[in-house]
Amino acid sequence: METKNIGLRGIEVADTRISNIDGEKGKLIYRGYDILDLTKNSTFEETAYLLLYDDLPTKEQLAEFNSKLIDARYIPKQMQKNMGNWRKDADPMDMLQAFVAALAGYYDEEFANKSASYDRAINLIAKIPTIIASWQRIRNGLEIVDPDPSLSHAGNFLYMMSGERPDPEVEKIFDVCLILHADHTFNASTFTARQVASTRAHMYSAASSAIGALSGELHGGANTEVMKMLLEIGDLDKVEPWIKEQMAKGERIMGMGHAVYKTYDPRAQVLKEMSRKLAEKTGDKWFEMTERVETTTINEMKKQKDRDIYPNVDLYSASIYYMLKIPVDLNTPIFAISRVAGWGAHIIEEKFAEAAPKPALYRPKAVYVGKYCGPQGCEYKKLDLRK
C-alpha cells in the first residue's frame, strides 16, 4: 500500500528554536519575534544576528557583527578568475552552488567547534552577495566592483552589482526583502541543509546542497517563474484571460498558494505594499499586473473549485526585483543572499543540538511499491535466457 505522507507534509522531524509558522493565522516568527515587527524596526544585519545567536544584539554586539561581515565580504581573486572560465550563459544558481562549495578549499572548516561554525556562517552571509555580484559583472564583460565598507549589507550588494550607490529608499526596500526571506522553518532548502549537516558534513557542503534545493522552480525558483509569467502576459488587459485559460487547463499559477499558509502569507503583505510604492516611484506597470494576477486567480479558484487561495512570498517579490533592475535569472540567487542566514542558524542547531537531541542523522523510512515476485524475490535469469 502506498503511503499517504507524501513529501513529509505535516510530519514533525525535529525541534527548533529558530522560527515558527502559524499557517492558520498567517504568522511567521523569528526567535520569538513577529516578522512584521522586524520589517518595521530591524535591519537584515540585526535579523541575521538574531537568527544565529537567539537574541537581538546590543549596540556593541551589532557593531562587532557588522565589522565581521564587512571584513569577510571579499572573495579570493583566484575564485573570481575561475568565474571567467565559465560559460557566460551558465545558470547563476549552478555557479553559486559550485563556488560556495569551493569556499571549503580556501578556508579552514570546523569539525566539532561551535564557535568556528558561527565564523563560517558569517563568512557565507558576507561572501554570497560578492560571489553573485562578481558573476553578474564578469558575465557582462564589466570590471568587478569591490565591496564598499561604508554601505549596508543590502546597499553593498546593489552597489557591487550595478557600480552605482543605491537610492536610500531602494536600499531600504531591498533590506526588507532580505529580512522577509531570511528563514522559513523546515522548507526544502533548509531541511536539505540540516539533513546534510546531520551527517557531520561541513558548513560549506551543507550550504551548497541547500542552494541546489533552492534552485528548483517549486522552491526558490518560483519568483523567477512569476516574472516570466508577467513578461509573457505583457499587458494589464491580458492578465484575466491568460489566468482563466491557464487555470481551465489545470496549470499552476506561480506565486499563488502555499504548502503551509491557509491564509495570506505575511511576507506577501509586506512585499505587496513595497511593490506598490516602487511602482509609484518608477511608473512601471508590474505592480498593477501582479495585483490583477492575484485577484483573478482568487476569483477563478473560488469559481472553479470553491477553494480559497492566497499569494505567497514569490508573487510580489518578482515585480520588486524587476523594478530594481535586477536580472530575472538573479532572483533565486538573491533569495540565497537572504536565506543563508537561516541556513547557517539551522546547520549550527542541527550539529550542536541546541534544541531537543535527536538521532545522529536523518534516515526516513520509505514504502516500497515496486515489483514483487514473492517472499523469495524475483528469479534471476541469465542474459541469454531473457526475452
CATH classification at residue 282: 1.10.230.10
**53 domain-assigned:** yes
The mean pLDDT of 15-20, rounded to a whole number, is 95
pTM summary value: 0.93
pLDDT at 1 over 60: no
Secondary-structure percent of the chain, ordered helix, strand, coil, rounded to 5: 60, 5, 40
317 with 336, same domain: the answer is no
C-alpha cell at 143: 570590471
**384 domain-assigned:** no
Of the candidates 153, 181, 184, 258, the residue annotated as catalytic is 258
**374 domain-assigned:** no
What's the total number of domains in the chain? 2
Q: What is the pLDDT of residues 266-318, one digit of tens each?
A: 999 999 999 999 999 999 999 999 999 999 999 999 998 899 999 998 899 99
193 with 103, same domain: the answer is yes
Q: What is the mean pLDDT of the chain?
A: 92
CA–CA distances in Å: residue 357 to residues 350, 353, 360, 367: 9, 5, 9, 26
Q: What is the pLDDT of residues 187-231, one digit of tens each?
A: 999 999 999 999 989 999 999 999 999 998 888 888 889 999 999
Asked if 184 is an active-site residue, the reply is no
**382 domain-assigned:** no
Q: What does the alpha-carbon distance between residue 258 and residue 264 come to, in Å, rounded to a whole number?
A: 9
111 with 130, same domain: the answer is yes
Q: What does the alpha-carbon distance between residue 349 and residue 17 come to, in Å, rounded to a whole number?
A: 8
240 with 203, same domain: the answer is no
Q: What does the alpha-carbon distance between residue 362 and residue 198 come to, in Å, rounded to a whole number?
A: 7
How many helices (H) and strands (E) the chain has is answered by 16, 3
**344 domain-assigned:** yes
CA–CA distances in Å: residue 31 to residues 21, 164, 170, 210, 313: 11, 35, 27, 21, 20
238 with 107, same domain: the answer is no
CATH code of 120's domain: 1.10.580.10
Q: What is the pLDDT of residues 159-179, one digit of tens each?
A: 999 999 999 999 999 999 999
Of the candidates 314, 329, 346, 384, the residue annotated as catalytic is 314
**227 domain-assigned:** no
CA–CA distances in Å: residue 136 to residues 79, 80, 93: 14, 11, 12
Of the candidates 91, 219, 284, 329, the residue annotated as catalytic is 219
Helix axes 331-352, 203-214, angle to 10 degrees: 140
- The residue type at 25: K
Q: For position 3, what pLDDT does the model report?
A: 58
Q: For position 139, what pLDDT does the model report?
A: 97
345, 121 Cβ separation under 8 angstroms: yes
262 with 125, same domain: the answer is no
DSSP 285: S
243 with 98, same domain: the answer is no
122 with 198, same domain: the answer is yes
Asked if 181 is an active-site residue, the reply is no
Calculated CA dihedral for residues 237, 239, 242, 243, nearest 10 degrees: -150
Range of the domain at 280: 234-322
Q: What is the pLDDT of residues 37-58, one digit of tens each?
A: 999 999 999 999 999 999 999 9
**192 domain-assigned:** yes
Grade residue 2 by pLDDT with cuts at 50, 70 and 90. low
84 with 116, same domain: the answer is yes
Grade residue 261 by pLDDT with cuts at 50, 70 and 90. confident
271 with 298, same domain: the answer is yes
107 with 201, same domain: the answer is yes
305 with 194, same domain: the answer is no
pLDDT at 353 over 80: no
C-alpha cell at 299: 476569483
**367 domain-assigned:** no
Q: What does the alpha-carbon distance between residue 338 and residue 180 come to, in Å, rounded to a whole number?
A: 8
Pick the last residue of a domain from 302, 322, 342: 322
What is the percent of the chain with per-residue pLDDT over 90, rounded to a whole number?
Answer: 78
The mean pLDDT of 325-345, rounded to a whole number, is 96
The mean pLDDT of 180-189, rounded to a whole number, is 95
